């Protein structure tokens, strides 16, 4: 369904949110053939405002994330061997 319509179907018991599944699909190289039809209901100003707010949310989250090395050091670092 994602490949044909850019939509993700979720059941009530779904573990992950839509944005996670979208990232998984795109990360696996599954690109939708069409865009989501909600865009047809937005004028250019609304679409630009929506995309700008989406970018702002992503930027905010990225600035709060640790660096790759800090993450490895905190969660994955192996103990020193003697």
Q: pTM of the prediction?
A: 0.54
Query: Residue 8 pLDDT more than 90?
Result: no
Give the alpha-carbon dihedral of 30, 26, 23, 44, to 10 degrees: -110
Cα–Cα nearest to 19, from 63, 67, 64, 58: 58
Cα gap 55→53, rounded to integer Å: 5
Q: Check if the beta carbon of residue 59 is closer than 8 Å to that of residue 32.
A: no
pLDDT at 53: 93
Task: State pLDDT tens for residues 34-79.
Answer: 887 888 999 999 999 999 998 999 899 999 999 999 999 999 988 8
Cα gap 75→30, rounded to integer Å: 30
Query: Residue 23 pLDDT more than 90?
Result: no
């Amino acid at each position: 369904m994602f490949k044909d319509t850019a939509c993700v179907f979720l059941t009530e018991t779904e573990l992950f949110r839509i944005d996670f599944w979208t990232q998984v699909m795109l990360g696996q190289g599954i690109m939708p053939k069409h865009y989501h039809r909600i865009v047809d209901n937005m004028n250019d100003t609304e679409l630009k405002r929506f995309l700008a707010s989406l970018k702002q949310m992503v930027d905010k989250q990225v600035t709060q994330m640790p660096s790759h090395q800090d993450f490895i050091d905190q969660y994955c670092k192996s103990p020193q061997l003697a």
